[in-house]
Chains A and B, each alone.
Chain A
Amino acid sequence: MQLRVEKLNKSFGAKHVLRDLSFTAQSGVAMGLLGRNGSGKTTTIRTIMGIFPADSGRSTIDGAATQTLRKRIGYLPEERGLYPKRIIGEQMAYIGTLRGLSSKVAKERAKKLLVRLEAEEYYNQKLDTLSKGNQQKIQLAIALITNPDIIILDEPFSGLDPVNSQILKRVVEELVADGKLVLFSSHEMGYVEEFCDDICIIDKGQSVLAGRIREIKARYPRHQIFVTPEGPDAEELRRQLMQLDTVVRLTTGIEVQGRGCLLTLQNEADKGALFSALIEGRVAMDAIGVVEPSLEDIFVEKVGREKAPEENGGDVA
């Protein structure tokens, strides 16, 4: 199954929010839609869900318009909310029946999902008695109640404590393992990097970077090596490294950084020679590895140079 977004454009009055936005997402892969606040992530998702129409362009699932397949999509909106004074089990079953389930099946699924999310004790409680994080778990359970093939989660980690974040992370991993197509928006790079295979970075409504994270990272130079010392003294490690002629010859700099040393190679191809030199020189080290740019580094590089739209006085629905 493939979700394809092609040249989406959307304006609100004079504000052009999406500009020829395109990306694709596949089943069995989690895709992160990244962007700063007001970059157009939620507008993209709402357009895919048909909450409002695109001015031009289209979004399809295996060729069919997503707006016609809404009941096959599990959706966690950014603006979360249900009925504060109603029993949680009742409202979960209600949404389930609206999305095509029978009342009996909807209730059964609601109970199972709450167990899976470690929230089964809330089934007979009113929503407004729960904390924000637990209300979010209920919303996630509702998004999954029809066992959809496609799941779209808008900022799913916002407002979750670390324990609940881990529960959500586990659920998303299970969904991906089950072959579901998972698309979620976030500006929390740590979570995205942890379990997303694909990303699409949006800036001012445009896709500025899209593809496999692994491949994106591979495009960046891999000429820096980080060495972690056996003991606590990174300065001692640096002194050791400076005494090795081969190491000094192959690098342009050796700096202490945090708990270890960062070595910058003159030539990326000399990685193997450097590793051999470190081993032969019996350097007291615990770990050695090529330094890759983090997703945050990539994100900041792509979108961090200019002011975000809302910082210019803008506002995006």
Chain B
Amino acid sequence: MRNFFNVLKFEYTGMVRGKGFLITVALFMSLLLVVASLPMILGFFNRGGDEEIYYDATGEQAVGVFYDTTGWYTPEIIASFSPHFDWTPIDRPDAIERGLETGDFAIGLRLAADGITVYIPGSDWMGAGNFMFYEMARAMAQAQALEQAGVDAAVIETALATDPTMDVVVVGRDGGQSYFVAMAFTILLMLMVSMYGAIVSHSVSTEKTSKAIELLTISTSSNSLIFGKVIGVGLVALTQFGIALIPGVLVMYFNLERWHEFAPMVGGIMEMIFASNILGMAFLFFLLAFFTYAFLFAALSSTVSRAEDLSSSQSIPTVLLMAAYFVSFSALFAPDAFHAQVLSYVPFFSPLVMMARATMTEVPVLEIALSAGVSLLYVLLLGFLSAKIFRIGIMLTGNRPNLRQIFKLMRQA
């Protein structure tokens, strides 16, 4: 046990003293602090002004143009249906496309008796405004029909100006917010596991290729070496992200109100994270995912005797991690799907899938505990297996061995 701590300390201090560690931490911490302080920073620059500091989502600058074949529409009618655009009539239909190409206006509208045609630039590939124009065209067509039926224009205007209020009451966990939280956590977890797993892999292969392994294995047990190394790197990851994240998160936590005003959605997401046990759960599943993959990285890089073979040894855990990521992504949309439920207990998948499910929906605590327990069990099994492979790594020289050769050597060792 003493040597486990010696190895852990050696690995940990070696990495946290490195320039790379300090630069990364400083960079991320500064960036997050700036982002977390955005409402205060913008508020500071807006002191004394009455105007709103927020971005005007209505798009005042938007310029539209329309070509009317019906002779019914006037700029006033058009503007009354879409007050956020500055509509200009034109007399030639080909001017719409030309104007869009030259950037003279952002949107074009061709109005005919049988419907409307919306022209949008190619850069608006999502066609975000199409639904709004459809609604606008329908309202205008209804108004025209009513007017032709003899209804007084003032009545039509009053009727169409009626603005109903709509409130949305979310029952249970807000799916929209949960989706963003789960997606962000899944991506973060995958990035961290692959990044720090690669560090474990590099560390193991360095001991192998630099020939330090022989001296190490006669000095202490391979269990101490592998567990000390992997847990040491895990602590480095926590230290690095802790230092980088905590100041920014604290700034956000103590300025939640300002965030609610500044960006209600971000404020809501942060409130959801702070108010629930999601952070604790994400932390637990990060640890389980990290150790699962880190031990796999360690085991496979122990079989490498040349630095140039290291990347090929990383392909198996990387592919597994990507597969787990895509499954967990699908679990965001269908957290109770059969495959998501089953994979919540399958090695290499469970930490990511269960975390995605538990963030999206209310998974019973017992299921979460069972998934975490199963993960912990195979983390330990993988750890001991990895130590055993590390131990025989000294005998693995030349070309990478196949599984049969590895197991044969493990039996002999």
Contacts and interface: CB of A to CB of B under 8 A. Distances in A.
A79 B211 contact: yes
B165 to A, nearest CB: 65
Interface string A46-81: 100111110000000000000000110101010111
Contacts of A52: 394-395, 412-413
Contact of A98 (B211, B219, B412): B219
B397 interface: yes
Given A98-B216, A317-B397, A86 B210 contact: no
B217 interface: yes
Contacts of A304: none
Contact of B394 (A51, A53, A86, A142): A51
Interface in B2-28: 3, 6-7, 10, 14
A164 B217 CA distance: 28
B34 interface: no
A52 to B, nearest CB: 6
A84 B210 contact: yes
**Helix, strand, loop or mixed for chain B's interface?**
helix
B210 A95 contact: no
Contacts, number: 60
A71 B219 CA distance: 6
A75 B212 CA distance: 12
Interface of B: 3, 6-7, 10, 14, 206-207, 210-212, 214-220, 394-395, 397, 412-413
Contact of B214 (A79, A83, A90, A99): A79
Given A52-B413, A75-B215, A98 B220 contact: yes
A105 B343 CA distance: 51
30 contacts: A50-B218, A51-B214, A51-B217, A52-B395, A52-B412, A52-B413, A71-B219, A73-B218, A75-B218, A77-B211, A77-B214, A81-B212, A82-B210, A83-B206, A83-B207, A84-B210, A86-B14, A90-B10, A94-B10, A95-B215, A95-B216, A97-B6, A98-B3, A98-B219, A98-B220, A99-B219, A99-B220, A139-B215, A317-B395, A317-B397
A98 B214 contact: no
Contacts of A71: 219
A51 B211 contact: no
Contacts of B412: 52-53
Interface of A: 46, 49-53, 70-71, 73, 75, 77, 79-84, 86, 90, 94-95, 97-99, 139, 142, 317
B397 A94 contact: no
A81 B211 contact: yes
B7 to A, nearest CB: 7
A154 to B, nearest CB: 10
B9 to A, nearest CB: 9
- Find the residue from A46, A52, A84, A142 having the highest chain B CB count within 10 A: A52
A70 B218 contact: yes
